[in-house]
Structure formats: structure tokens, C-alpha cells
Homo-oligomer: A and B are copies of this chain.
């Protein structure tokens, strides 16, 4: 561990570069990004990383491909001068001749990044490059089960010009990493992962963190029923793609009663049932065993009025080790009034990181109950309001707080592209990923330089003390 501590300590608090130090490094990173973006766009490289992701993370070719493509686009976004444009400052005239105040984005210097198993390429690359763009020196830890993907990507980045001493890449268990953090004391730590670890880190690091943790992500279908096929397909993808192992996966669906008479649920059932292990459109669950999920399911089914809509059975004919879960895509109906009861609420809103969702419905005048359910949740990551009724959208958006909320007929909960903000809201520790705004927020702080060069007023004399 000591080499990591020492390496991090070589980076001063003012970073490897800032607007007054080695600005040519902003250009270097523009070049690295352009080159790496081009490399990832080469079909055989694209395919290589897609398949490499599939070897370690349970997702289909298309889903893995999407991850590489988002990474590729992100790198294109910071080609050329776009890295230095991130360091854009502003200035305002001062009180007298010679005074101007300037607001800069300043690096933190030595920093740490900890990323999870479910996006082995996208999350580490986007956070790592963001940290580097702003002038930081990161130590990066990717979940050990999947870190081979990033290990290969580091080599590609080195090939594209990344100085080897700019990043420390560590493979370790969480305990070792925790110890490293306490010893090396990075100025900022970005953690993406579970709320439990997030809260522990927040305490250990005295709040010097940015977090992107869990999400019990909801979708509300509004009163205007339209395009049932489309909505069913989006629900299926939101809940079950990557076997539900996205922090943005749809955890609960609130249906307006107008949708009850439609074929929505039966279509969702059909779509869920066409998923299969062979092409990884459903696959192993890495953080829950089959038994644990089934036990959770059974508890839910004891709530009066609840019922299994589809799924609920283990996958068959597979060789998934028993430390993992293996469940058919599952949906459980729980009545809204029951869900809201003190005794049930925590149970129903427990996030299961797997192909599992709660479905409920609400009557025309029950929207306030739905909003109450949202308010009582803890993790506010993604959400969807499926409606083209502007007054309905206004009501739900204005009374909720999820960080990435999709609105409109085509609303979804998943989809974390590089072009818009993705992250939780409502928490001052919340991180974003990938966009210029997210990079500036997470990987830099404000520094104000006030120039005050004179000249002094003519005939200036020492005034009385104050």
C-alpha cells in the first residue's frame, strides 16, 4: 500500500495543472481524448471492449456495446480545446481602477475514485478523465471482479499519451482501500456504490466525498394513455436490462387507473418472458442470492392485496454459482395504501439490485398519496413521469426531487448518456458524471483571485485605524 500513499503524496494541493501552472496539460488531455475516442470508434477495438465487459459483467452485447459507445462519445466531447474550456473562469470589474475579481475552477490535487462492478468501463473512464482534466492526480479502484476492463483501458490511454505517473491504478479489496484512504488522505474521494459504504466513507473521510449511491427509482404513468406497446417495452428495459443491475433501474411503477384497462401489464409480462440467459438479456445477480430475493418476495406477498404479476421463479438450466442470484424477471403488485403504511413502507421500498420491481396503481384523486410515497424515499437518483399532460408533469416534477428525471411519453428511468447530467439530487454530497457541469462540480472547487494592482489614488494618505 505504501507506494500508493507515497505516489499520491507527490501531488500538491494545487494539482498537476491549473490555469497558472502547466496549462499545456489541458491541451495534452484534449489530445489524449481525441485519440482515445478515435481508437474506441475502430470496430475491432469497440468489439474488444464490448466482449471484455461481457466476460465480467452480466449484460447483453447491446448493453455492453452501449457502455463503450457512451465512453467513446464522452471522449469525443473533450477533444481539442474542450478540456481547457472546462477551466473557463470569469471576472468582474472591481471597486476602483486596477481591481478585478476572477473566479477559477481549481483542482483538489490528490484524489481517489472508487467505482462498482456494473459499469466496468463507463463509470471509471468518465470519472477518471474528469478528475484528470481538472488537474487532479487520482488513485483509481475498480471493483475487483471487473477491473480487468479498466486495466486494458489504462493501457489504451497510455498508448494515446496519458503520462503513466498521472494515475495510480489499484486492485484491492474494500478494506485495503479504506485503509489507503485513511492513510493517504486524498483531498476528495468520489465513490459510486452502495449507500451503506457511502455513509461509512462519509464519516471516515469527514465529508470530503462526492457520492453516487443507490436509487429506488420510480416511474409514474400519468392519466393520458398512449402508445401502450412503447411504454411496455420501455418498462421492460428499465426494469430488467442488465438484469436490473443499474442504479437507474426501475424499482417501482405507479400506474394511473386509466392504464388498468389496457394490455400494458400483459405486454410487460410477455416482454419479460422473452428474456433468456443465453444472450444475457437476463443473467446472474451479483449482490443477492436467489434465496435472499425469494425471501424478500415472500415477505412482500404477505402484504394484504399484494400478488405476483410474473416471474418469481429461479432461472433454470444454468451454472451460475450459488453465491449469486438467478431469478426470472419478476414483478410484484402491492396496493398503494398498503405500501404507505408505516409497517410496510421500508420493506416495499427496499432496493433489490436485480430483475425485480414493484408495481402499484393509483386512482385519479390519489396523486397526493403517490407524491407522499416519493417524498418518504431516501435515495433520489432517477425517475420517470410518463405523460404528455403538461399540468400533470408540472405537479409531479414540482413535488419531487430525483436528480435525473425523465418526463413525457417516452420517459424512462435508465439511460445514462454522456450528454446530460446523471446523478442524485437533494444531497449536498451528490456527484454527477460525465457532463461539463458534473466534471466541474465534482473535480474542482472555486478559487477567487482578486487583482488589485493600483495605481493608488493620487495624494493618498494613511487613514485612521478602524
Contacts and interface: CB of A to CB of B under 8 A. Distances in A.
Interface of A: 12-14, 18-24, 26-27, 30, 34, 37-38, 41, 60-63, 66, 73-77, 79-82, 84-85, 87-103, 106, 108-109, 187-188, 199, 202-203, 205-210, 227, 229-230, 233, 236-237, 240-241, 271, 274-275, 281, 375, 380, 388-391, 394, 397-412, 417-423, 425-430, 432, 436-438, 441, 445-456, 460, 462-463, 465-466
Nearest to A79: B76
A88 B90 contact: yes
How many copies are assembled? 4
A191 to B, nearest CB: 11
A233 B23 CA distance: 24
A403 B406 CA distance: 28
A241 to B, nearest CB: 6
A275 B432 CA distance: 51
Contact of A454 (B102, B241, B409): B409
A12 B399 contact: yes
A445 B19 CA distance: 25
A415 to B, nearest CB: 8
A439 to B, nearest CB: 12
B236 A465 contact: yes
A410 B425 CA distance: 31
A281 B275 CA distance: 68
B241 A466 contact: yes
Contacts of A446: 403, 421, 423, 425, 430, 432, 437-438, 441
A14 B445 contact: no
B271 A452 contact: no
B81 A419 contact: yes
A168 to B, nearest CB: 20
Nearest to A430: B445
A311 to B, nearest CB: 14
Contacts of A451: 406-408
Contacts of A412: 452
A93 B26 contact: yes
